[in-house]
Copies of this chain bind each other. A is one copy, B any other.
Amino acid sequence: MSQNAPADPQIAPEQGGGKRQLLREKNRLTLLEATLDSIAEQGIAETSVSEIIARAGLSRGMIHLHFGGKENLVEAAAELSNQRYYEQLERHLAASGDRPQDKIVAIVRSDLSEEVLNTRNVSVWYAFRGEARKRAVIAGLSDTRDTRMGGLAKRSFVAIARAEGHTHPRAVARDASNGTLAILEGMWTDYLLHPDRFNRGDAARIVFRFLAAMFPAHFNLSGAR
């Protein structure tokens, strides 16, 4: 039953708690990963406490010990998933050039990268979306996305639209920003429903097909100028 029982905590009782603390953190993470795995594979409804602890190889009580209940655990898992999404985004942005079109390209590339757009993430993402209406915490995560990513995209597109000489650069930029993020959303749905026939290259080309049409001086089909 407890083959994966964590190392005996009695081993170093007066060492200051450092090891203990580390173990705690490790168990916490194991539970979160097990939860995300289960949600990805079984869906939220099928993700029971028993399922989670079986995957984590930890004891039943641990969920309440660490998270105070299943609900909190699920929300923490949503937050973890969201946080990882942003870490990837920031990584891509950090590695990108400074021109506004570089930022847009980085956003698109990140959103379609294997690290972000994969079966597990997409499954988890849509499972949480299905819960968004009922769970404030989960709904809130998407807002963060809007704020951080939407703001950056919009600012970038304003610069691009100005450079392209549009008469109403702000209006164009707002639509371009919302539209780009919407297409990316749509690509995720496509991946969800057809993980086998989905193709990252095709997805990127579609996005840039639209962007190139709108801002020919800044984008082309290959993804970046």
Contacts and interface: CB of A to CB of B under 8 A. Distances in A.
Given A45-B44, A182-B189, A176 B1 contact: no
Taking each of A41, A127, A146, which has the highest tally of chain B beta carbons within 10 Å of its own beta carbon? Answer: A127
B185 A189 contact: yes
Contacts of A123: 133
Interface string A32-69: 00000000111111101011001000000000000000
A78 interface: no
Contacts of A155: none
Protomer copies: 4
A209 B213 CA distance: 10
A134 interface: yes
B132 A131 contact: no
A209 B179 contact: yes
Interface residues of A, number: 56
Q: Which 9 A-B pairs have the closest CB atoms?
A: A182-B186, A130-B130, A185-B186, A213-B214, A213-B213, A179-B206, A45-B45, A175-B206, A175-B209
Nearest to A42: B134
Given A146-B194, A182-B182, A185-B186, 13 more contacts: A1-B50, A126-B129, A126-B130, A126-B132, A126-B133, A128-B130, A129-B130, A129-B189, A130-B131, A142-B193, A172-B209, A178-B202, A213-B214
B205 A175 contact: yes
Contacts of A193: 132, 139, 142-143, 146
Given A5-B1, A46-B134, A130-B130, A210 B214 contact: yes
A190 interface: yes
A7 interface: yes
